[in-house]
Structure 1
Amino acid sequence: MTSTAVRSTADTAERRGQPDRPRRSAAGRPRRSALARRDWVVGYTMVAPAVLGALAFVIAPLVAVSWFSLHDWNVLANTFVFSGTDNYERMLSDQGLHDSLLASLWFSIGLVVVNIALALFLAVMLNQKLPGTTTFRTFFFSPVVVSLVAWTIVWSFLLQADGGINGFLSLIGIDGPNWLRQDFTAMLSVIIVQVFKNVGMNMILFLAALQGVPEEIMEAARIDGAGAWRRFRSITLPMISPTILLVSILTIVGSLEVFAQIAVLTGGGPGNSTTVLVYYLYQQAFRFNDFGYASGVSVLLFVIVLILTLIQWQTRKRWVFHEN
């Protein structure tokens, strides 16, 4: 046997105990196997609908409305003239816009505080497994699946001066106000209508989070002498804080996008007391046909929602626990 054959036999024997090395291309890089290529194709195919949907229905409209906001666009007059930052400069002195921002602020504060507090309270009550909880849960969740416009129309009749609510109050000797024709009561009415429309969804989210709190931890705290309030504050709230973050983000964003309730109940009145930002945007676009300025207001709304969401997301590190 020649020396070359001996070396070949030795190399073969040495390689038998080692794993096969990937083939390398002429450039020295490993070749991508057929399985890896197939995984790559399948992965991108799966995410393609979401990416295309985001591009078509989120990114593209956002870019378009930003471009429109830089123009003086009147559909009836058929004018579309580049105006630069004129629309944004106009916002600084627009008293109507300032009033709508203030109305949106009061509406958002009232809705977020009442909605989250009531939803959490109802979820805690349902988590006690008392008799009739199924009926109670259905009663509060049913408005979520009811048509928003139909729900609001029913409440518009109840809130009239001679409506059902004042009729009930008169039975107990109370002369109710004209709920939709006074500044404070009109805003209060819109908030309450929206709270009862969506509190059921937040209630279910909180209930699911409460049922995920380990009973062993609660039992250990009970044995150590912790009262009900201490257990709720020190154990339950930290354990469900990720759900509180989710509910707060959804509720705040929803409060800034309210429109149908305002349009049906008050029409932005009395005066401008319930003209929130979205309704003001609608007025500028479809009542005054100033689509350029309305586009600028919509960009402002997007920026406000983005900032509030980022603030909540960044501050979560201080009060949200058990994220994993």
Structure 2
Amino acid sequence: MTLTRTRGTTAGRRAVVSPYWTIRRRDNLVGYLFIGPQLVGSALFVLLPLGLVVWYSLHEWNVLAGTFEFTGGDNYAKLLDDPRLGEVLGGTAMFSVGLVVLNLSLALVLAILLNQRLRGTTFFRTVFFSPVVVSLVAWTIVWRFLLQADGGVNGLLGSVGIDGPNWLRGETAAMASVIVVQVLKNVGLNMVLFLAALQGVPSQLHEAARVDGAKAWTRFTRITVPLISPTILLTSIITVVGSLQVFAQIAVLTQGGPGLSTTVLVYYLYQQAFQFHHFGYGATLSVLLFAIVAALTLVQWRMRRKWVFHES
């Protein structure tokens, strides 16, 4: 500690000069050291690849010929003129809407049912959550066999006199099948999140509303839904982003067919880049996918103030 004398009327007063490494600065340094690895990882594995994708989208990269030519905005012009892109985006929207609505609705219903104090709820919680930890590819391969014309699903329907279709060869049936397979795979995750949120709702509020004569539906919409709305926001963002990134299910079940009926944007990107070797155009589709995901996430985040509890 360094002691100095002040001048003027306070000549006799001693002032203390604080050291450089104050408690606040030490705490800040510790904080930066903790987040440093995460920042480095984000820069190397998120920001750098994103920048490279944008750079590749401005080039035409032919791996077979070994050429890498700058084309400027040609790939983006090709994107606007692509006759199949509209159908692909339509299929992507249909898949995302169907998946998000069915997943969140079913997860909330299951969470409400399993939040009751009944025997066997622990067993059913395990049953519904277990597909989440199963290998995605293994899960999809099993369902591919079950959904064939002579598979287990049609065999079960045939036992009750129903002639089931070839689920993976009809345009409507194929899209519905992919959505259902994906919902059954991941609904357990959202169910657990909803279940945790429901268990955090104070029972006193429901008891007070019941005493005041509020019906079950009124208590659910006026008490339960507002209190679990932060979890609804979280699960909706996770599910929307996940629905736009689906690939393995499409590749294993339908390969994008029949036609383009189940070709979503990620699978179309894969086809252009790794099957047709149009890496520049594939990178352009990646930029489009990133823009869509970012825009939808931003819209959901901005709208939270209108319906999420404690955010108004």
Task: Give the structure-2-normalised TM-score.
Answer: 0.94
One-letter amino acid of the counterpart of residue 284, structure 2: G
Match of 1:315 in 2: 303
Across the two proteins, how many residue pairs are aligned to each other? 303
Match of 1:132 in 2: 120
One-letter amino acid of the counterpart of residue 220, structure 1: A
Instruction: Confirm or deny: 8 A CA contact 1:111 1:195 kept in the other structure.
Output: yes
One-letter amino acid of the counterpart of residue 134, structure 2: V
Cα separation, 2, equivalents of 1:245 and 1:41: 34
Mark the CA change 1:78 to 1:131 in structure 2 (over 3 Å): closer, same or farther: same
Cα separation, 2, equivalents of 1:193 and 1:323: 35
Match of 1:276 in 2: 264
SS of equivalent to 2:288: helix
Instruction: Confirm or deny: 8 A CA contact 1:22 1:31 kept in the other structure.
Output: no
Cα separation, 1, equivalents of 2:231 and 2:241: 15
Match of 1:104 in 2: 92
**Cα deviation, residue 96, structure 1:** 1.9
SS of equivalent to 1:57: helix
Mark the CA change 1:323 to 1:129 in structure 2 (over 3 Å): closer, same or farther: farther
Partner residue of 1:177 out of 162, 165, 169:
165
State how 1:294-305 maps to structure 2 within 5 Å: 294-305=282-293
Kindly indicate whether residue 39 of structure 2 is the aligned counterpart of residue 72 of structure 1.
no
**Considering only aligned residues, what root-mean-square deviation do their CA atoms show, in Å?**
1.6
Partner residue of 2:43 out of 36, 47, 55:
55
State how 1:151-190 maps to structure 2 within 5 Å: 151-190=139-178
Q: Note the residue ranges of structure 2 that are not aligned, 5 or more in a row.
A: 1-9
**Cα deviation, residue 31, structure 1:** 4.4
SS of equivalent to 1:72: strand
State how 1:1-324 maps to structure 2 within 5 Å: 22-23=16-17, 31-33=19-21, 35-322=23-310
One-letter amino acid of the counterpart of residue 65, structure 2: A
1:263-305, Cα deviation, whole Å (9 max, x unpaired): 0000000011001000000000110111000000000000000
**Cα deviation, residue 323, structure 1:** 5.1
Mark the CA change 1:220 to 1:297 in structure 2 (over 3 Å): closer, same or farther: same
**Cα deviation, residue 97, structure 1:** 1.8
Instruction: Confirm or deny: 8 A CA contact 2:305 2:311 kept in the other structure.
Output: no
Deviates more, 1:73-82 or 1:249-258: 73-82
Cα separation, 2, equivalents of 1:252 and 1:57: 22
Cα separation, 2, equivalents of 1:21 and 1:160: 86
Cα separation, 2, equivalents of 1:270 and 1:285: 21
Cα separation, 2, equivalents of 1:22 and 1:177: 86
Q: Note the residue ranges of structure 1 that are not aligned, 5 or more in a row.
A: 1-9, 24-29
Structure showing greater radius of gyration is 1
- Calculate percent identity across the aligned residue pairs: 64
